[in-house]
Structure 1
Amino acid sequence: MNSADAWTHPDRIRRYRERVFAERARLKAAFTDPAAQRQKVLADLLAFNAATDYGTRHDFGRIRTLEDFRKAVPVQDYAALEPWIERAAAGESGVLSADQPAVYFTSSGSTGAHKKIPVTPRFMRTTFFPFYYAAWAPLIEHFPDVLAHPDAVLNLKHDPLAAPPTTASGRPHVGASQVDFGTRFGEPLSAEPGTGAHWATLPLSVDPAAHLEKMYLRLRLAAEADVRCVIGINPAMIAALPHQLNLWWERIVKEIRDGTLGGLPHRAPNPERAAALERLARRHERILPAHIWPNMRALFCWTTAMASLYLPRLREEFGPGVTVLPAPVAASEGPTGVALDRHPSAGSLVVTAAVHEFADADTPLAPDTATLTAEELEPGRDYHVVFSHVGGLYRYAVGDVVRVADRVGGVPRLEYTGRSTLSSAAGENLRDAHIIRALAASLAATGLEIRGAACRTQGEPVPGYHFALAPRTRFSSDEQATLTTLLDTHLARESAGYASARREGRLTPCTLQLLSPHAFQDDWITAVASGIRPTQVKDRLLRQDPAAWARLTTPTP
Structure 2
Amino acid sequence: MFAARDRLRAEHADPRGAQQRALADLLAFNADTEFGRRHGFGRIRTLDAFRSAVPIRDYAGHAPWIERTAAGERNLLTADAPALYFTSSGSTGAHKKVPVTPRFVATTFMPFYLAAWAPLAEHFPDVLARPDAVLNLKHDPLTAPPTVGDGRPHVGASQVDFGALFGEPLSAEPGTGAPWASLPVPTEPGDHLERAYLRLRLAVQSDVRALVGINPAMIAAVPYQLNLWWDRIVKEVRDGTLGGLPHRAPDPDRAAELERLAAYFGTVRPAHVWPRVRALFCWTTGLASLYLPALRAEFGPEVALLPAPVAASEGPVGVALDRHASAGSLVASAAVHEFVPADDDLAPDAATLLPHEIEAGREYHVLFSHVGGLYRYPVGDVVRVVDRVGGVPRLAYAGRGVRSDAAGERLRDAQVVRALRAALDAGGLGLRNVACRVEPGRDGVPAYVFALAPHGGWGTDETTRFAAALDRGLAAESAGYATARADRRLGAPTARLLPEDAFLRDWHAAVGAGIRPTQVKDRLFRPDDALWARLTGA
Q: TM-score, normalised by structure 2?
A: 0.99
Moved more, 123-132 or 459-468: 459-468
- Distance in 2 (CA, whole Å) between partners of 1:336 and 1:410 is 16
How far apart are residue 320 of structure 1 and its match? Answer: 1.4
* Cα displacement (A) at 1:364: 1.1
TM-aligned CA deviation for residue 116 of structure 1: 0.3
Q: Work out whether 1:405 is the aligned partner of 2:386.
A: yes
In structure 2, what is the Cα distance between the partners aligned to 1:296 and 1:247? 21
Task: Give 3-state SS (helix, strand or coil) of 1:100's partner.
Answer: coil
Residue equivalent to 1:387: 368
**1:436 aligns with one of 403, 407, 417:** 417
Write the letter of the residue equivalent to 1:87.
R
How big is the shift at 1:319? Answer: 1.1
Letter paired with 2:166: F
Q: 1:249 Cα deviation (Å)?
A: 0.3
1:248 equivalenced with 2:229 (yes/no): yes
SS in 2 for 1:31: helix
1:233 aligned onto 2:246: no
Alignment partner of 1:71 is 2:52? yes
| Offset at residue 33 of structure 1 (A) | 1.1
State the 1:312 CA deviation.
Answer: 1.1
Taking the aligned partners of 2:381 and 2:100, their CA distance within structure 1 comes to: 20
* 1:135-174 aligned within 5 A: 135-174=116-155
Q: Which amino acid aligns with 1:304?
A: T
Superposition map of 1:517-556 within 5 A:
517-554=500-537
- Residue 276 (structure 2) pairs with residue 307 (structure 1): no
Matches of 2:287 and 2:182, distance apart in 1: 31
Shift of 1:256: 0.2
Residue 76 of structure 1: how far off its partner (Å): 1.0
How many angstroms apart in 1 are the aligned matches of 2:301 and 2:33?
A: 54
Post-superposition shift, 1:316? 1.1
Separation in structure 2 between the aligned mates of residue 526 and residue 304 of structure 1, nearest angstrom: 24
Equivalent AA in structure 2 for residue 539 of structure 1: D
Structure 2 distance, partners of 1:148, 1:33, is 36
- Hey, what's the Cα distance between the residues in 2 that align with 1:209 and 1:67? 47
Per-residue displacement from partner, 1:357-415 (whole Å, max 9, x unpaired)? 00000011000000001111111111000000000000001101000011111111101
Q: Which residue of 2 aligns with 1:502?
A: 485
Mapped partners of 1:388, 1:470: distance in 2: 40
| Cα-to-partner distance string for 1:417-467 (whole Å, 9 max, x where unaligned) | 111111111111111111101101110111000000000000053211100
Written as runs of structure 1 = structure 2, the 5 A alignment for 1:80-95 is 80-95=61-76
Amino acid at match of 2:398: T
The separation in 2 between residues aligned to 1:226 and 1:543, in whole angstroms, is: 39
Q: Which segments of structure 1 move beyond 6 Å, counting only runs of 4 or more? A: none
Determine the C-alpha separation between the residues in 1 that align with 2:448 and 2:110: 43
SS at match of 2:403: coil
1:148 Cα deviation from its structure 2 partner: 1.3
What does the per-residue CA deviation read over 1:282-314, in whole Å, with 9 as the maximum and x for residues that have no partner?
Answer: 110210000010111000000000000010121
Q: Which residue, 303, 315, 319 being the options, matches 1:338?
A: 319
- Opposite residue 117 of structure 1, the aligned amino acid is V
SS in 1 for 2:458: coil
Counterpart among 475, 481, 490 of residue 473 in structure 2: 490
**Counterparts of 2:475 and 2:348 in 1: how far apart (Å)?**
30
Letter in 2 for 1:428: E
Instruction: Name the SS of the counterpart of 1:362 in structure 2.
Output: coil
The residue type equivalent to 1:135 in the other structure is A
1:218 counterpart residue number: 199
Partner Cα distance (1:72, 1:397) in 2:
16
Q: Which one-letter code corresponds to 2:58 in the other structure?
A: D
Give the C-alpha shift of residue 141 in structure 1: 0.2
Show CA shifts across 1:310-329 (max 9, x none): 10121111111110100000
Matched, 1:59 2:48: no
Partner Cα separation in structure 2 for residue 35 and residue 189 of structure 1: 29
Q: Distance in 1 between matches of 2:465 and 2:387?
A: 33
Query: Which of the residues 336, 343, 365 maps onto 1:355?
Result: 336
Match of 2:99 in 1: 118
Alignment deviations for residues 514-547 of structure 1 (CA, whole Å, 9 cap, x no partner): 0001111111111100100000000011000011
Gap runs ≥5 in structure 1: 1-19
Distance (Å, rounded) in 1 between the aligned partners of 2:461 and 2:487: 28
Matched letter for residue 223 of structure 1: V
Residue 309 of structure 2: which of 328, 331, 335 is its match? Answer: 328
The match for 1:294 is 275
Amino acid at match of 1:488: D
Cα shift readout 1:43-71 (whole Å, capped 9, x = no counterpart): 00000000000000000000000000000
SS at structure 2 position matched to 1:508: coil
Question: How far is 1:554 from its partner?
Answer: 1.3
- CA deviation string 1:136-179 (max 9, x = no partner): 00000000001111100000000000000001000100000001
Residue in 2 that maps onto 1:17? none
AA aligned opposite 1:275: A
Q: Take 2:480 and 2:61, find their aligned partners in 1: how far apart are those partners?
A: 29
d(CA) in 2 for partners of 1:161 and 1:70?
Answer: 40
Could you give the per-residue CA deviations for residues 185-207 of structure 1, whole angstroms, max 9, x where no partner exists? 11011000000001100001110
> How many matched pairs?
536
- Distance in 1 (CA, whole Å) between partners of 2:522 and 2:128 is 30
Which runs of 5 or more structure 2 residues have no equivalent in the other structure? none
For 2:114, the equivalent position in structure 1 comes to: 133
Instruction: Name the SS of the counterpart of 1:386 in structure 2.
Output: strand
- Say whether residues 1:476 and 2:442 are aligned partners: no
TM-score, length basis structure 1:
0.96
Question: Helix, strand or coil: the match of 2:394?
Answer: strand
Residue among 101, 115, 137 paired with 2:82: 101
Q: Provide the C-alpha distance between the structure 2 equivalents of 1:32 and 1:463, rounded to a whole number of angstroms.
A: 52
Where 2:411 maps in the other structure, the secondary structure is coil
> Residues of 2 paired with 1:423 and 1:444: CA distance?
24
2:25 is the alignment partner of 1:44: yes
C-alpha distance in structure 1 between counterparts of 2:427 and 2:358, whole Å: 33
The one-character-per-residue Cα deviations of 1:464-521 (angstroms, maximum 9, x if unpaired) are: 1100000001111110000000111000000111111111111001011100011111
2:183 pairs with 1:202 = yes
Q: 1:339-364 CA distances to partner (integer Å, 9 max, x unpaired)?
A: 00000000000001000000000011
Identity %: 68
Distance in 2 between the 1:298 and 1:162 partners?
Answer: 30
1:25 aligns with 2:18: no
Question: Structure 1: how far apart are the matches of 2:507 and 2:398?
Answer: 21
For 1:276, which of 232, 238, 257 is the aligned residue? 257
Letter in 2 for 1:89: A
**Residue type matched to 2:309 in 1?**
P
Q: State how far apart, in whole Å, the 1-side matches of 2:204 and 2:3 are.
A: 35
